[in-house]
Amino acid sequence: RRAAGGRQLKSLAYCVDAVLDAAEEEKEAAAGAGPSAEGNRGAQESFSREMLRAFFSRNAERILSAGAALHTTQPELAARVDEARSRLAEMLPLIESPGALDLEDLERRLTVVEEKLTAALTANAPEEFLVDVRREMDRQLAPYRRKMTSAQLAQLERQYMQKRLWERYNLPRLSLFYLT
């Protein structure tokens, strides 16, 4: 899509208001409604075990190569990356277990691994890189700061920083939302 004036959009920040409005409408529509059993069943069948195994192996391979690249320059960070890979390997039996897959629990576990790894990446990233990312983020968000709440801004900034850190170290996102 194109912005007003025919310019190509280069940032999702342009769509922030529409996304926030849609999320608010969905929250209002869902108020008072409990989780439906049919919705849970559909979510559990949305990914095959083969797809999940392939996703986990792809991610484990990428994490292994990223960790190997870090061993000489940043051994402490390499250890944290290797730890994340081992956590992924520990989750494989959950996929192999008989019965229905609990994708919500699997996603929770992946989120914890991502958060711990993000903290390690942030702690070990060069300060100049972090400053450059903040500068770029501030420049892109400047037109939208007045329209967003502080909580929305904080979440967007956290997600942006996390995205850039994972890109810098060539790490795959672990969440099932990135399963393709």
Percent above pLDDT 90 for the chain: 49
**CA within 13 Å, CB half, 94:** 17
45 pLDDT more than 60: no
CA dihedral 60, 55, 111, 161 (to 10 degrees): 80
Q: How confident is the model at residue 48 (pLDDT cuts 50, 70, 90)?
A: confident
Global confidence as pTM: 0.68
What does the pLDDT read at residue 26?
79
- Residues 120-136: pLDDT tens digits? 999 999 999 999 999 99
Whether the CB-CB separation of 166 and 122 falls below 8 Å is answered with no
- Residues 59-110: pLDDT tens digits? 999 999 999 999 889 999 999 999 999 999 999 888 888 888 888 999 999 9
Whether the CB-CB separation of 121 and 77 falls below 8 Å is answered with yes
